[in-house]
Amino acid sequence: MRKYILVKKIFNGYSFIKDNVLVVEDGIILGTQEGIDTAEDEIIDKRDFVLSPGFVDKHTHGIGGVDFFNTTADDAKTIQNYYFKHGVTTIVPTIVSAPFENIYKLAKTIKEAKKDPDFKLNIPGIFLEGPFINPAKKGAHDKRFLQKPTVEKLEELIFNCEEKIIDIALAPELLENPNEFISKAVEHGINISLGHTESSFEQAKQAHLLGAKNIVHLFNAMPQIHHRQNSITTYALLSSIKVELICDLIHLSPEIIKLTYKLKGPENIILISDSISATDLSDGEYSLGALDVKVENGICKLADGTIAGSTLTIDKAIKNLTKIGIRLEDALRSATYNPSRLLSLECGAIKEGFRADFVLMDEDLNVKEVYVGGELVYKAQ
């Protein structure tokens, strides 16, 4: 039976459209239309709500007490509801620099969780934010686990991971042969994201031309803009490479966010949470990987004061953007279509043939209902 979801307006991943009805059959999007022209199938009347593709969080270390550094299949099943609560239907579990055994355990955990028919959260692969990063820009990564990137280590990871590695963070200045490493990653369908780096403008440009597509949390853990010394940060702002932004208004000021949108355009920006296990919980003592983190007023820091991830959620990031003057459609695009396109995923858009993952929000952008495969998985109380 077809379902017709009648809403106030639809954001399709790129813009708001004139159609106000989403048509779904067997969990798949058939298309959109203007108004209801049938009474034979199921009509879901949500005309007070705005419909958007489910949000995509491509950079999240955990939530609800779970850290992907050390987790179980049962943990993974538990936390899906935390993500649904915030409109997120697709995540890329992200692990900080870790022993390879931890990476393999995460991959196995995700594979096991997916076997459960009640596990609805879409996980297309995992993101290794380390260990191939620069010790000088390690941020909240344990220096004991950092390694120099080599093709041999990359192949070892690919061969031993039971779940697909979909993204790897890389400091390109550490590579002896950038073409060999990046080409091998691209050959295996792995995106290269440049980050935790002291890369020069030229090194970043070379990596981009070789196939790197993204910058890990722009401005954080990299050189800052300097009027005489160009770096990866300058390259990020002037080129077409995609950039992640943590829009909790702690990692970045409103003015820097608006400057980035102005220079990059909404098509090149990806909203991420960079959330840690403390997200959706109270202040206190937590961990990120093997490091202790103290959370006060929702701000996560190591003992030396280094910011260690966030307690941000994607729905909150969207609200923050609109509050500082970013257009709603640009904020939504950065949380849906852009990350899905970066990783070549069939989600993040209201498009014929895609799985019917979508979120319903009120005019204040509060998440009211979330659907995965056309089925209700979350309803606000």
What is the model's pLDDT at position 230?
94
Looking up tokens 């009027």 gives: 227
| 274 carries an active-site annotation | yes
308 labeled part of a ligand binding site = yes
Consult the annotation and say whether 221 binds a ligand: yes
Q: Is 228 annotated as a binding residue?
A: yes
251-269: pLDDT as tens digits: 999 999 999 999 999 999 9
Buried b (16+ CB within 10 A) or exposed e, 122-153: bbbbbbbbbbbbbeebbbbbbeebbeebbbee
140 has binding-site annotation: yes
Angle at 229 between CA 308 and CA 262, to 5 degrees: 65
Query: What are the per-10-residue average pLDDT scores of the chain (381 residues)?
Result: 93 96 96 82 92 98 95 87 98 97 95 93 97 97 96 97 97 95 96 98 97 97 93 97 98 98 97 97 95 96 96 98 98 98 96 97 97 97 86
Catalytic residue among 57, 67, 142, 274: 274
Domains of the chain: 2-52+354-379 (2.30.40.10), 55-342 (3.20.20.140)
pLDDT of the residue at 74: 86
Residue 380 annotated in ligand binding? no
Task: Tell me whether residue 129 is annotated as binding.
Answer: yes
Contact 308, 275 (CB under 8 A): no
pTM of the model: 0.96
Q: Is 290 annotated as a binding residue?
A: no
Name residues whose C-beta falls within 8 Å of residue 244's C-beta, 6 or more positions apart in sequence.
58, 59, 193, 214, 215, 216, 217, 218, 270, 271, 272
pLDDT of residue 38: 67
Distance (Å, rounded) from C-alpha 9 to C-alpha 108?
A: 40
62 a known binding residue? no
**Residue carrying structure tokens 């939530």:** 63
Q: Is 220 annotated as a binding residue?
A: yes
Q: What is the pLDDT of residue 39?
A: 67
Question: Encoding tokens for residue 313?
Answer: 């959620």
Q: Give, in order, the Cα–Cα distances in Å from 229 to each of 134, 225, 264.
A: 19, 8, 20
